[in-house]
A and B are shown apart, each in its own frame.
Chain A
Amino acid sequence: MASVTMTVNGKSVTADVDPRTLLAQFVREHLRLTGTHVGCDTSQCGACVVHVDGKAVKACTMLAVQADGCEVLTIEGLANGAELHPMQAAFREHHGLQCGYCTPGMIMTAVDMVNRLGSDLDEATIRHELEGNICRCTGYHNIVRAVETGAKAMTEGGARQAAE
């Protein structure tokens, strides 16, 4: 067993884990944060995307022990209490989800995309950036719309906060 300590959604957690525990397993099974999903074995579907130290990573391809000392953000930590994150709101507004299974990873990837590339994202860029997230339900059409809108809303929200 190995001891890990990390901050998950703003809370410090410490646990003893078998070193072979994946970060995705750790948040799902040890922390009961089941919003992070696992959809493949080959780091391709992106259902497990979380942020580690502010960057999107595939939690199924990282050991929990590798996240020792890190800040982890999962889908459960994205909203500000009852107030949805603008990207979450955009996914609902634009019907960017059907079965909901890929959705947490999609949203975490979309937020990371905006963090890196800013809010003015064209369709081609969004589609390219979603390469690591597979959705079987939506055909991506409405996900693209959602990310476009969510990106804009993120900056507006940010600008509002800065102005306040």
Chain B
Amino acid sequence: MNFEQIIDAVRIGFNNPLSVQEKRKGIYQLFIPVFHEDGDAIDLFFTENNGKFILCDFGLTLQRLSYSYEIDTDNKNAILHKIITENGLTEEEGNIWLETTPASVFNDIMQISHAYAKIGSMRYFKREVIESLFFEMLDDYILSDLSAYNPQKKVYPIPSRDDLEVDYSFSPNGHPVYLFAVKDSSKARLATISCLEFQRANLNFRGWIVNEDFEKLSKKDRSRLTNACDKQFTSFEEFKSTANIFLQREKSV
């Protein structure tokens, strides 16, 4: 295919503040003055597919997002594909692309670079939304679905130790089940210490852990926590599926 016609159309549209360089045979990289927050230019290429020009990124937008944000749940994947679809783009093996023509290329570059920026902004959800949801969702679930086990919040099993706080206490039978909600290593270590101190004080209890994401903890934190507690749920989803079953088993003891 003759790429000169489409490259000339881009130069005219941008009035020349750009550069185009051949990256590989049949693949041209556009250097346009549109930048990410870290100062890197957006990754944008021309190539052809089945005789048509396409604008694409060869997976580099998702690569950049992946520095600090993982598309690791069905919900995040759905949001990603909603952004892609609603912006008229297509994703294939990580490559996000849009068909274009010399007549529409300037507008298509505006559209696709805007969409790449929206995809990149998914990382903002990481801290502000995803992390805060864990405790809220856990609280909602416990107070609604596990109310039969008389949940109590912020319990101090050893009255003289106000540094050893339990997130939730359940009473399925004669002895309490103490539940710690763990989302990072500092909470993992606190839960470990608490369980060990309660054992040292000869309290009759069960120490349970619900992890936001068990795999996020370091190997040593996982090991210490597993050795100190009685039961772990590796994720909130797992807790929702089986907590009632395990509390019923405690009830029948």
The reply to whether chain A is a binding partner of chain B is: no
Chain A residues within CB distance 8 Å of chain B: none
